[in-house]
Chains A and B, each alone.
Chain A
Amino acid sequence: MLPDSLQSWDTVVAFDLGSLLDAARELSWAIHGRRLDCFIPGRMVYMGERGEYPMVSLTADACALNCDHCSRKILKSMVPAPDPDALKTVCRQLDAEGNAGVLLSGGANGAGALPWEPFLETIRWVKENTGLKISIHSGIIDAEMALQLREAGIDQVLIDVVGSEETIRRVYHLPGGLTAMKASLNAWAATKLPLIPHIAVGLHYGRIQGEMEALEMVAQHAIASLVVVVLNPLRETPMADRPPPAPETVARFIAAARLRMPTVPIALSCGRPSGLHRVETDCLALRAGVNRIAMPAQGALEQAREMGLAIAFHKTCCSRIS
């Protein structure tokens, strides 16, 4: 017998894995139907197809936080647009190339905020003069800037949510801690824009710490979907030699999220380990009733077909259906 929600990680791991996943999947299928939406985000390449939702960095590869899981490596894979003119040029070109949209992201200042203010007019121009959807990867934000971004015309908001004060400080080097993170969530919730929190399983150097608290933080808001990220220890970062969380751990978290927020679509992010870990994680996530997977493993697609799921592919961020 499973409770309606699982409040602590100890409770989640106490349950038999099969029973937990079965309960979550049955609930997921009853509400969301038997379907799996798959995504090719950014400009990533998947089986010869390229994504049409590039990630753009408003700070090029600069970031004051230099988080332990990233060390600015992720920024280097983005299209740089470090000033408003560059952003206009980049967006004009991406639109002409037929992209569906852009994810505006970038490095943060010491307080965890991105430099949105100088880009507001350009964002408005992009919305008025191109067909691009605009998603933003928020960072820490105040209520006034959130409203200004809504007025500029952004379409949706992605935000990383961490539930452990220690993790925020040690991994993100963010002085504002949980208070700043909760304030940012509140600021976005007030805008009524589609809000897509991202929770990284194992962000605390591969360990579970604060994920359930993060889940509770996002469950307080009307979110459009939840994206589950899995720590992928990158080379040349302080986490390079840390083991990622086990696939079973990821699946348990997805099941807990499903039971906590039955109506919210849950996506497995492109940010997760490769190879056999990916195969196992994706297959277990399907057993937990995940609704969306970015860059799914072939083995998971086979399993999804065996489960009788209707499969659709989208060349966008997993936070949006094109």
Chain B
Amino acid sequence: MELEKTVIPEGLRYSRGHVWAAFENGLCVLGWTDYIQQNAGDVNYVELPEPGKRVEKDQEFGTIETSKWVDRLYSPIAGEVVASNREVLQRPELINQAPFGEGWLVLLRVDTAVESPTLLSPDEYAAYVQTCEER
């Protein structure tokens, strides 16, 4: 799905904090969405948790800085960190260049196979992005 210039891939789930989530076999990959990376600008710095760390739903799992954005990253799901993307720590521009690919952030082993009902489908996220644009 494309919303003007924003890419919203099918098959993923989205949080209102503009984090995408990809679920498979009890694991979940999280990343920053295309919409937010375009709005926040060049990512200069990202801080991610070490493997083994617990992450709670709606709690901070890292921080991210661009030239006009300094904020925490919030996980839309609870779980244990299996891996953090070491490459984006060295090359944060990957989050801009490939937000759904090489720019992924963390891999979690999720607590439950049931996806959080607060996560949005691509259509719902597209509608949410529209409201963000109108603000």
Contact = CB atoms under 8 A, between A and B. Distances in A.
A235 B93 CA distance: 9
B70 A77 contact: no
Contacts, number: 45
Interface in A51-89: 77
Contacts of A234: 42, 67
A118 interface: no
Given A274-B45, A275-B45, A295-B70, A45 B40 contact: yes
A54 B65 CA distance: 19
Contact of B68 (A43, A48, A97): A43
B69 A45 contact: yes
Contacts of B66: 274
Nearest to B46: A275
Main secondary structure of the interface of B (DSSP, over half): strand
Interface in B45-70: 45, 47, 65-70
Size category of the B interface is 10 to 19
Contacts of A271: 67
A47 interface: yes
B44 interface: yes
Please indicate which of the listed interface residues B45, B68, B93, B135 has the most CB atoms of chain A within 10 Å of its own CB. Answer: B68
Interface in A266-301: 270-271, 273-276, 278, 295
Interface of A: 42-48, 77, 97, 232, 234-235, 270-271, 273-276, 278, 295
22 contacts: A42-B68, A43-B68, A44-B70, A45-B69, A45-B71, A46-B69, A46-B70, A47-B70, A47-B71, A77-B67, A77-B68, A234-B67, A235-B42, A235-B93, A270-B68, A274-B44, A274-B67, A274-B70, A275-B44, A275-B45, A275-B47, A275-B65
